[in-house]
Structure 1
């Protein structure tokens, strides 16, 4: 599960940060000047990684808690034309979580990333999202068997994001 690996990295960075703070305090800065500078630089670096991982964990939790569709096994095309096998894909009101990658939309106000379009056919779902500077298109197999379930997913996504899906076939 993606959330578990993100949480594991978060805890690992927290432990490394605590250890580096401990060793910085343990080495008296007045006695060993060079070592305390190295430990201080390490603390700043680990603090940045810890904050970044904390933000990723919050976003992943938000996506998981507001999930609309969970595809257990899928292949995803990130616009390059080559599909990659993924173990699980989670589509949510706030983004997509797949293979450790977090694609988020609708959270950063006017200048943030927005879900632009959604196309659904019998086997695949295509999502287009981005802002004025950067756009991205993802395609993945959705695994939905009936047309009624496709309509339910697209209607829920429309109510949550305001994006009307184009259903083909």
Structure 2
């Protein structure tokens, strides 16, 4: 996402949107440095000025790094309420459910992510769905999901590795 996308979302004053964008960027930088409490604070400040689906999703992602999976899922639900066309929070909910061991509950979230109109990484839910099927022992569906991830992004290294590992384990 770039500043232009951020600035056109929803109602609000342009000054608030710009400041929210700057806070969002600072939050992301802190998150990537592992300064998670500071990232949470900055994402919340950004959301208070100009709430966006992205900021909710990234706040959820930060919570997941902190092991706060239920809070992460809650933020993804807020993101979906704000923008149901944004694919990331659907995929993220599914990924958090995998972490919680709730494989069957994760499947519909990946399917919703696949249908989202606004998603920069459409291969992700296919890979994650493959992970679920692999955990469930459904090798055929897992292979098909990994192949679909690669069809969408031929350079997706994790999908290549997952597919190769699974096929070699079956031989």
Give yes or no for TM over 0.5. no
Q: Write 1 or 2 for the structure with the bigger share of strand.
A: 1
Choose 1 or 2 for highest CA Rg: 1
**What's the TM-score once normalised by structure 2's chain length?**
0.28
Q: Write 1 or 2 for the structure with the bigger share of helix.
A: 2
